[in-house]
Amino acid sequence: MTTSQQLPEQSTAAGTPFSVDPASAANRDRLLAAVEEIATEAEAEAEACEADGKLTDRALDLLRSTGIGWGLVSAELGGLDMYPGDVFPVLERIARIDGSIGWIATIVASSGPLLAYLDPAVAKSLLADGLPIFAASGAPSGRAVAVKGGYRFSGSYSYSSGGLHADWVFCGGVIYDGDEPVSDPSLSFLVPSSAAKHSGNWDTLGLRGTGSVDFTVTDEFVPTERVINMFGQPASGGAAAGGGAFLLIHLMHLGFAAGITRRLLDELARHAQRPSTRPGATSLADNPAFRTEYAEHELAARSARALITETLAGIDVTLARGDRPSRRQISLLYGANVHIHDTARKIASWVFTKGGGTALRAGTLQRLVRDAYSGGQHFLVDHSHLTDIGHELLGAPPEMQWAGPFFAAQG
């Protein structure tokens, strides 16, 4: 393993990025090959996923068969123990198949880092029947009261990504003593999906196949060993787990956004080659103005992706040394996420315009546009973060933090 801090060679849109670990890189290539094998069959499920409001059983089976769920699981739990920079292109490739399938791929891949926050014995017990799927809602809207052996927990949540596919749900909440909160920061309480009463409310513009419904948990007993602090240090895992849940959340959104951006451009390129239906007209690709605009958007997408791979490569080097990502690295990670989503939205708008009637009607092109806009609605990629990013880049004082106490010591 090398820990050189030299900037890695940038990858192409379909290439393989720098890796700090040959074993992680080999697993990356193996997972990418597995995704290619299921891509055509998985894409055929996209329309049915939208209609069902969640992935079809076949789509979920195909997704699990790739092994992406084991990518970030630690070696001690039987996983591949891959670095984030090697998992990113796999998530990106899956998102190119379909937005909803790509979104759920990130949920499936989150199992490893979330298991790392649990005591290893608890994590192994959850793996007894295979790799579980975890949904999560970080909003601290739940209320917990201490009882013998654990807590009685209740809470209501919106936007539980992948909630209809989950075996377990991490619910953000605060411990109360009477009417006074006594836990800071908020904690995450792991409840079985059977304890979550789903209330639907997923009538959305895009990502309709993700099953990301609202839910309520009422007076559920949660044993102490299933309560974690996602802002703290993981309890287990190798060097690759050192970024914690905070890095995981960014990785999930980066993979989706880069993949959907790539597919938007590829799909419009195919559309542009089709002969025009208007008498005497040429194809869209024969128009010099279109070719110029396509080049501009292609270069923008590749530049945004290059920032992602450069940022993740630097973080991987840090993790390989056994260190936590610095505030500068996390700030750049935020920036890369905001930037790729901005790029995706701009390209989606342009694709919709150039797609004409094809983009207007139900179909692949329209679904890609809707999914790109919907993924960009997440608070993680809101422009409000640019204020803190700019402060960091201009030289913020070392005591300031905006990435949570987990990263405070690194400044």
CA pair distance 293, 276, nearest whole angstrom? 19
309 and 391 belong to one structural domain? yes
Q: Same domain, yes or no, for 275 and 305?
A: yes
Which structural domain range is residue 356 located in? 240-410
Same domain (yes/no): 379, 320: yes
- Find the CATH number of the domain harbouring 202: 2.40.110.10
The model's pLDDT over 129-140, given as tens digits with 9 standing for 90+, comes to 999 999 998 788
Which one of 108, 126, 144 terminates a domain? 126
Using one digit for the tens of pLDDT, what is the confidence trace for 301-325? 999 999 999 999 999 999 999 998 9
| CATH number, position 283 | 1.20.140.10
pLDDT at 406: 52
| 301 and 396, same domain (yes or no) | yes
Q: Are 39 and 68 in contact (CB under 8 A)?
A: no
For residue 248, being part of any structural domain is answered with yes
- Provide the CATH number for the domain around residue 30: 1.10.540.10
Q: Is the pLDDT of residue 195 over 90?
A: yes
What is residue 159's predicted lDDT score, i.e. its pLDDT? 87
399 and 327 housed in the same domain: yes
- Tens-digit pLDDT profile for residues 241-287: 788 888 999 999 999 999 999 999 999 999 999 887 666 567 899 99
The model's pTM:
0.93
Q: Are residues 122 and 143 in the same domain?
A: no
Going from the C-alpha of 397 to that of each of 224, 252, 330, 406, the distances in angstroms are 38, 29, 15, 17
Q: Does residue 287 belong to any structural domain of this protein?
A: yes
Residues 170 and 280 occupy one common structural domain: no
2 assigned to some structural domain: no
Domain count, the chain: 3
Contact 10, 310 (CB under 8 A): yes
Let me know whether 261 and 380 are in one domain. Answer: yes
Answer whether residue 331 is part of any domain: yes
Whether residue 247 is found in the same domain as residue 281: yes
Asked, for residue 37, whether it belongs to a domain, the answer is yes
Q: Is the pLDDT of residue 2 over 80?
A: no
* Closest to 252 (Cα-Cα) out of 358, 138, 147, 349: 138
Q: Does residue 89 sit within a domain? A: yes
Domain boundary at 92, 126, 160, which? 126
Q: Are residues 99 and 41 in the same domain?
A: yes
Are 389 and 313 part of one and the same domain?
A: yes
Would you say 127 and 74 are in contact if contact means Cβ atoms under 8 Å apart?
no
Single out the residue in 126, 146, 181 at which a domain terminates.
126
Provide the residue count of the chain. 411
Asked if residue 347 and residue 306 are part of one domain, the reply reads yes
Residues 156 and 141: their CA atoms lie apart, in Å, by 7
Whether 10 maps to a domain, the answer reads: no
pLDDT in tens, 201-211: 899 999 999 99
Residue 3 lies in a domain: no
Which token pair is 51? 């209609």
